[in-house]
Amino acid sequence: MGQVQFMRNLIIETPSVPGNFAKVAKAIGELEGDMGDIQTIKVGTLTTIRDIAISCANEEHLLKIVDAVNAIGGGISVHAVTDDVLQAHEGGKIHMKGRMEIRSLGDLRRVYTPGVANVCEVIKNDPDQARYFTGISNSVAIVTDGTAILGLGNIGPVAGMPVMEGKAVLFDQFAGISGVPILLDTSDPDQVVETVKHIHKGFGGILLEDIGSPHCFEIEERLKAELPIPVMHDDQHGTAVVTLASVISACQQSGVELADSVVGQIGLGAAGLAISRMLMEYGVKEMRGVDRNEEARNRLANHGGTVVDTIEELMETCDIIVATTGVAGLIKPEMVRKGQIILALSNPNAEITPEDALAAGAAFAADGRLVNNILGFPGIFRGALNANAKEITYPMLIAAAQAIVESTKPGDLVPHPLDPNVHQNVAAAVERVANS
């Protein structure tokens, strides 16, 4: 999960004869290019021009795809390669906008001076009234130090701003929450914690985003202990919620009882450890993990998990395998045990492809293309804010995962992230638990 893909749009012209677009799709697919949105730009008497979004490994991979399409012949050609991603980010993706229009002097007097002074007095006398008379209770700070941006690593907070803006857009679109990016020029846990403590009164919750391991663990634990508002590190718990939902869904489709299963986690970084802890909270029979990093192994042991020495040992002894290493092809087909459930979640290239895992005897296999944090964090914070919760607890997170499962259509692993129902259902489930 969280790896980078190279995205461009191809403007392709084909003769208006049935079957020509299928040739284009085949050429792209044979080179393992991933087609996204397809927009028909022009339908002429003789030819059709389409704008096709392509995800691939890198620029060299893209050029091979372009050459393959041009090599089809018969009037099929690539007219241009465009970068719609950069265009979409021009000027940024967010801006602050007022909820009230100022059209008269009366509006001005109510919204600002002198009327606003009355509201200030109300809040001064009863600070809890800020929940009703300001936007604080509907705002979440999206905090990053830029040390773990997607698969790019430590590129700094400013370079990570497009990701933070994206999170803000998702908060707004899926949960009606005002997300405010906060870029920190320090990774020192003491300084991060103190900074967030000093600004927290302007927010109803704190989302920690793309903060690297191991300092992310200390920062989250301290903020959760010291702040009276919900705090969640999305790379840990948002990932863990959607992964738990995926595991539950896979078990249901395979006839496996999760509570009776031994689960193995390959990779114990921020996401892997959080997934392990979530599964233990859910009540799996035993949680095992493997990682080359000694500190990571110790963290799992300290939380009650079992550390094993090798991937081979983990594969031999576990019923369900979850992998979040970012290492393509790490799981070899010969390691797969008949009847296992395997979720190899690294994007864009999984530790083992679902096809190879199933061919090797797995009962169920999936990669990380659909296992997206978008399914979790908007609804989790919406529910927590609605309930005026002081923290986000494991029962709330497990309820969120179960709501995702219940929103999943038969045959799917998880819901489509653009399905508004899943975000509403997650919010409702979290709110119920928070109020119980």
CB 230 within 8 A of CB 393: no
CB 311 within 8 A of CB 331: yes
- C-alpha to C-alpha distance for 374 and 247, rounded to whole angstroms: 17
Spatial neighbors of 85 by CB under 8 A, at least 6 apart, are 7, 8
- C-alpha to C-alpha distance for 150 and 160, rounded to whole angstroms: 9
Instruction: Please indicate whether residue 282 is annotated as part of the active site.
Output: no
CB 245 within 8 A of CB 375: yes
Instruction: Please indicate whether residue 390 is annotated as part of the active site.
Output: no
CB atoms within 10 A of CB 338: 8
* First-last CA distance in the chain: 33
| Catalytic option among 26, 97, 132, 167 | 167
| Catalytic option among 112, 124, 132, 285 | 112
Classify residue 411 as exposed, middle or buried by CB count within 10 Å of its CB (0-12, 13-18, 19+): exposed
CB 211 within 8 A of CB 188: no
User: Which of these, 341, 339, 342, 345, lies nearest to 324 by C-alpha position?
Assistant: 345
List active site positions: 112, 167
